[in-house]
Structures are given as C-alpha cells and as structure tokens.
Amino acid sequence: MTTPHVVVVGSGIAGLTAAHHAAAAGARVTLVTKASLAESNTRYAQGGVAAVMFDDDRVADHVRDTLMAGAGLGDPAAVRVLASEGPARIRELVAAGVAFDRTADGAFVRGLEAAHSYPRVLHAGGDATGAVIEAGLIARLRTDGVEIVEGALLTELLTDGGRCVGVELLVAGALRTVRADAVVLATGGAGQLYAHTTNPAVATGDGIAAALRAGAEVADLEFVQFHPTVLAAGDAFLVSEAMRGEGAVLRDARGHRFMVDVHPDAELAPRDVVARAIVTAMAAQDGRPVLLDATGLRATPAATADFLAERFPTIDAAVRARGLDWAREPIPVTPAAHYLMGGVVTDLDGRTSIPGLFAAGEVARTGVHGANRLASNSLLEGAVFGARAGRAAASAPASAPAPGLPVREGSQHAAPAADASRVATPRAPMRRAELQQLMWECAGVERDAAGLAHAARVLDGRAMPEPTDAAAREDANLLVVARAVVAAALARTESVGAHFRRDAAASSTTPEIHAVSPLENASGRRDRADLRSSEQQEVA
C-alpha cells in the first residue's frame, strides 16, 4: 500500500498537532509555513488554555460555559468533543515537554477568566503560554520525520475532479506545486483585516481566501472577536484577560468602574460585552482609552509590583517599556481585533466540503465557538481538532468523503466563493491600510446596515492587487476575506454575540442552559480569593 502524503499548511498549535498525529498514523507529512516555523498566533497567546484538569470541575460545566459564551449558536456536539477530549490533549502537551505552571506540590496553577464558572485555565511561563506550547510542539515535530518548508506562502489549493490534490506555494519568489493525498489548512485567522489587532503580521486570511477561491463552504465570518484590553500606548500589545481574572478592574476617565453597571459579572462578562462597553465609555470621553486598574491586586504598590512581574512577566515588561508603572497607576486600554470565530466549515474530524481538504484551528469553523469564543478555548480547539484532522487526513485517500457538509441553520451567513472575488468597475488596487481602516470603521466592534453597505460598495469597486510578490498576494487575500466578512455581516440582520448591529435589537437566540456566574459551578458559590489560592487534585 502506498504511504499517503499529507500537506499541513500552518505552524501554530493546530498545524503542529495535525502534522504530529498524521505522522503517527503512518502518513508522510510535509508542513509548510509562510514565515519561520515558530511564527504564528499561537506564539503570542498569553491567557492560557482551558481544560477540565481538576477533580472538582466537570466536562458538563465547561460545555455549558462554552455554549453560554457562544450566545446559543455553538454546536453542542463539537463543544462536547472539545471539553471531553481536552484533558487528553493537555496530557499530550505535558508529554511533549510543555511545562505548565505548577505549585510547590506539583499541582497545576489554575486561573479564572471571563465567562468561566470555574478556574480551569492553565498557564505556562506566567503569561507566555503560547510561546511555551509552540516551542514544545516544534521540538516534538523535529523528531517526527516531518518535512518542514519555511517561507512558503499558500497561493492556491489544487483541485482535480472536485477533490483537493495539493497546494501551490510561493517560495523565495517562485511558485512551487506540492501534490498530496490530503491537505490540512491550519493557517490561522485574519486579524490583519483591521487597523487595530492583536494578531501578528502573518494573519492575513490566506487559508480562508484560498478555500473561497476553491469553492469550499465557509460560515460565521461575521463573528469577529475584539479583545477588550489592548495597550493604547505604543504598538498594540494584548493585556491578557487573566489580568481581570486576578481582580483588575476597568475605569473610565473619571475613575468610575463602569462594568458593574453593564453586566452582573462586571469585568468577567463575555468578551463581546466588555468590548462594547469600552467602546461606549470611550465615545463618552471623546475617544480616549479607558483604564485598566491593577493597583489594588495586593496590599501595597511594592507587593503589587512583585506580583505583576511574577505572574505576568511578558505584559509587565511591555507595560514598563512604555514608561508606565501599572502597580501605581491604571494603564490605558482599548479593544482590538483578536479572533475569527467563523471560517472554513468542517465536521468533527476537520473534513471540509471539498474532499481531501481538511481544516483545523482558527481557519476552521467547527461550531465550537458559536457567536463568541470563550476565553482560552482557542489553544484547546487547535489541539483537539488538530489531532482529529491530522488522523483523518492520514486515512483520507482510503475513505469515501461525504458528498456535502451541512451547516447549522441560522449560522451560515457568508459570501459564496464567486461573489467573494468579483470586482465591479475596478479602480486602483486597494491599499492594505485603506482596507484595514474601512473594516475598523464599518465592520468593527459595532456595525449597521449603512456602514456595511458602504464597505461592500468600496470593496467591490476595487481591483485585486497584481500578484507581484508575497505582500501583494496577502493584500489580495485580505480583500477576498473582507468582502466575505462584510457580506456575512450584512446578511445577519440581528445582533448576536460578537456581531453587534446598532440598527437591530439583540437576537432572541439564547442557549437553553442555566446561566452561572464566574464565581460558581456545580460545587456551589465560592469566594474569588479562595478560588485563586486553593489548589485541587488534578484529574488523572
């Protein structure tokens, strides 16, 4: 029997995990990534990874929290897979050498983040979780016999008879074709659509654009998550949600803690709620940033400074490099584009609507996140569904693909591939900065029909950049994805989750599950100080 060849595109947690599991299943694996192997959204993840790793937490609670955050549009089957298989993937990461933070007696240090009913978030290196995971997975991959191609930009998916049979890449200025029995897209999101983003420069939507051009089904592209707290001093730098989990609060320019007026969970409300509240507060103070106040985390400024440096070393260094002393004074923050909940539609094993094409991680729409991703579920999704996609891709040549992939009713708004790439009365190619500002203003934290229609007209009236180099190809990809995001946002006329329409009432769609505050789970209400200080036995 011929050994199947699997090409994995992307080197974040989803891609590295998919490559490992495909190789373990007996496939010959080629992993391609457009920058260095270590450069991905995963590398910059601060907050941590959520998983049921303690004996007083329950999979059912993690499922409920995820569905609640998703505003009723999450797929329960996908969420159950995420929560139930998460612990095994965490143990796999530990086996790969990922050193999660532990207490003196060896138990995992656990953190509480927004919309979680239990402090189940694990960290590594304080606030360097993504970088530690990335390093561990790269070290493991180098022992797997996987061919690695760096500096390779995905330009097209190759199809033959309706099946994906490989990829076209731009490597060192030349086009290169790689044939494969199966392709796994793990190219991440499209944060570079926006003028303000936490994403690195590589997040230009290449996988989604290639999938659209190939005719793959996409969904939920209107659901763009904006992280509430990004430093508004110097270059954008994410300030982890774990800060608010530790007790930091948001204040307006007058010093008022405004989140207590907005939501019963205050700063630990779902991200879309917090981001919109910040936008509202900023509008009331002439656009000035709001303030994140961590000065009260410990009894004295000196003790607070020591705690911040130990618990959040990466953020602490970034804050102090900007001349700010956040142990003594609040720091300015603003929302920024952070995560795309939608993407290429997949089943629970990463299969897309194109036979031979798989997707995992942020590029995929598994249904896990619904309308709003629960904090620290992104790394978990990459690990859980990356493993599933890798195993399925390794057996793809011998398996009959499904003829079509159903999309959950009410959750499939996206532009068809033909519409996503059309150009009406082309003018000059659209500059990236112009596109980013248009998307920020018209398809950002808040949207309405007039703004979205304006964005659609502008985007449809601009030509694709000539594919003269990698940057121009990225710009063309951003234009394709921007059109699809705007079309999806126009099609969904109600407000739900991260998709907030100023011109529409909130959706009546709500999850049919009991709402629980972040300080309560199946074991009952508990004091936040106890949550931070108590340690529990890990689940075996």
What are the residue boundaries of the structural domains of the chain, listed by start? 5-153+341-398, 231-335
What tens digit of pLDDT does each residue of 472-490 get? 999 999 999 999 999 999 9
- Whether the CB-CB separation of 251 and 257 falls below 8 Å is answered with yes
Please tell me the predicted confidence (pLDDT) of residue 157: 98
Q: Treating both helix axes as pointing N-terminal to C-terminal, what angle do 378-394 and 13-24 enclose, rounded to 10 degrees?
A: 30
Residue spans of beta strands (DSSP E) within 243-382: 249-251, 290-293, 331-340, 343-345, 357-359, 364-365
Question: Can you tell me the mean pLDDT for 236-244?
Answer: 89
What is the distance between the alpha carbons of residues 456 and 444, in angstroms, rounded to a whole number? 14
| Closest to 33 measured CA to CA, from 49, 48, 18 | 18
| Closest to 91 measured CA to CA, from 394, 358, 387 | 387
| Closest to 272 measured CA to CA, from 505, 500, 518, 498 | 498
271 assigned to active site = yes
Please tell me the predicted confidence (pLDDT) of residue 205: 98
Give the percent of the chain with pLDDT over 90: 80
The two beta strands, 174-179 and 147-149, are unpaired
Residues in CB range of 438: below 8 A, 6 or more apart? 455, 458, 459, 482
What is the distance between the alpha carbons of residues 486 and 447, in angstroms, rounded to a whole number? 10
- Whether the CB-CB separation of 353 and 399 falls below 8 Å is answered with no
Checking if the pLDDT of 459 tops 50, the result is: yes
Q: Quick one: CA torsion of 154, 155, 161, 166, rounded to 10 degrees?
A: -30
Is the CATH code 3.50.50.60 the one for domain 5-153+341-398?
yes
What tens digit of pLDDT does each residue of 69-119 get? 999 999 999 999 999 999 999 999 999 999 999 999 999 999 988 889 999
Please tell me the predicted confidence (pLDDT) of residue 131: 94
Q: Which of 80, 89, 213, 271 is catalytic?
A: 271
Q: Pinpoint the alpha helices (H) of 284-405.
A: 301-311, 313-321, 378-394
CATH top-level class of 231-335: alpha beta
Please tell me the predicted confidence (pLDDT) of residue 417: 41
Question: Can you tell me the mean pLDDT for 169-173?
Answer: 96
Question: Can you tell me the mean pLDDT for 310-318?
Answer: 93
Please tell me the predicted confidence (pLDDT) of residue 114: 82
Query: Which pTM value belongs to this model?
Result: 0.86
What is the distance between the alpha carbons of residues 240 and 113, in angstroms, rounded to a whole number? 9
Please tell me the predicted confidence (pLDDT) of residue 506: 52
**Residue 219 DSSP label:** E
What does the block give as tokens for 79? Answer: 């969420």
Please tell me the predicted confidence (pLDDT) of residue 389: 98
What does the block give as tokens for 434? Answer: 């112009």
- Whether the CB-CB separation of 9 and 129 falls below 8 Å is answered with no
Distance linking the first and last C-alpha atoms of the chain: 39
What is the distance between the alpha carbons of residues 11 and 37, in angstroms, rounded to a whole number? 6
| Closest to 49 measured CA to CA, from 97, 9, 10, 98 | 98
In this prediction, residue 307 has a pLDDT band, given cuts at 50, 70 and 90, of very high
What is the distance between the alpha carbons of residues 393 and 102, in angstroms, rounded to a whole number? 35
Question: Can you tell me the mean pLDDT for 288-314?
Answer: 96
Instruction: Tell me whether domains 5-153+341-398 and 231-335 share a fold.
Output: no
What tens digit of pLDDT does each residue of 494-513 get? 999 999 999 985 544 443 33
Checking if the pLDDT of 412 tops 50, the result is: no
Please tell me the predicted confidence (pLDDT) of residue 236: 87
What is the distance between the alpha carbons of residues 237 and 199, in angstroms, rounded to a whole number? 9
Dihedral-angle region of residue 325 (phi above 0 means left; psi in -120 to 50 means alpha; beta otherwise): beta
- Exposed e or buried b for every residue in 311-341, given b needs 16+ CB within 10 A? bbebbbebbeebebebbeebbbbbbbbbbbb
What is the distance between the alpha carbons of residues 359 and 393, in angstroms, rounded to a whole number? 10
Q: From residue 517, give the alpha-carbon distance in Å to each of 65, 115, 219, 420, 513.
A: 10, 7, 30, 41, 13
Checking if the pLDDT of 401 tops 80, the result is: no
In this prediction, residue 416 has a pLDDT band, given cuts at 50, 70 and 90, of very low
* Strand, coil or helix: 350: coil
* Strand, coil or helix: 296: coil
Greater confidence (464 vs 176) lies with 176
